[in-house]
Copies of this chain bind each other. A is one copy, B any other.
Amino acid sequence: MDTRTKIILAAMELFWLKGYNSTSVADILSRTQLNSGSLYHFFPSKQDVLIAVLEFLRDGIGEMLLAPAWAGIDDPIERIFALLASYRRMIVESDCTYGCPIGSLALELHEPDPKVRELLAANFTGWANAIEACLIAAGNRLPCGLDRAALAQFVLTAMEGGVMQARTHRDVAFFDRAVSMLRAYFESLEQGVQARARA
């Protein structure tokens, strides 16, 4: 693996575990067994490492996140809840310390460089677009007038809020209740379509 990629992977994990400000350049060097000259050869500053990490996450959402979560699942609505179930697994496996890497950075960085903010937004957009594609694939199981982009964003909202509370309370039940509320909402949408079809 080339040095640049090594740095990105180490920084990605450290930013996720400790946050951006609490990760020092020395931390990244220690984890990669590199020296500061190497890092500053590829990146002008620590912030440029962050930018590379955010680009890496944005470009890897399909392979790193969606593909594993959706293996063997074809139903578009079940794919949405399978993705949420994969977050549940990460929460449980981390003893409820899991945080969404993008959400955490989005709230940690209060005055981000425009490039950083745009990449955070692009990561959210990529996630929501994947959900929106599922909602579109669900076709007439959902109301035809439904704003599918808005509902896709709402799925992201529920995930982020659920992860935030589960981590803060150190209790996955807070995530489970958010998913269960979202599931009830989906069922009411699907039942609304069926009721109108009967009428």
Contacts and interface: CB of A to CB of B under 8 A. Distances in A.
A169 B121 contact: yes
A193 to B, nearest CB: 12
Nearest to A151: B181
A184 B174 CA distance: 22
Interface stretch (A1-9, A58-66, A73-81, A153-161): A153-161
Contacts of A104: 107-108, 110
Interface residues of A, number: 48
A156 B150 contact: no
A168 interface: yes
**Which 9 A-B pairs give the minimum distances between C-beta atoms?**
A157-B161, A154-B181, A150-B177, A21-B21, A107-B107, A188-B188, A161-B161, A108-B108, A160-B161
Interface of A: 17-19, 21-22, 97, 99, 103-104, 106-111, 117, 120-121, 124, 147, 149-151, 153-154, 156-162, 164-165, 167-170, 174, 177-178, 180-181, 184-185, 188-189, 192
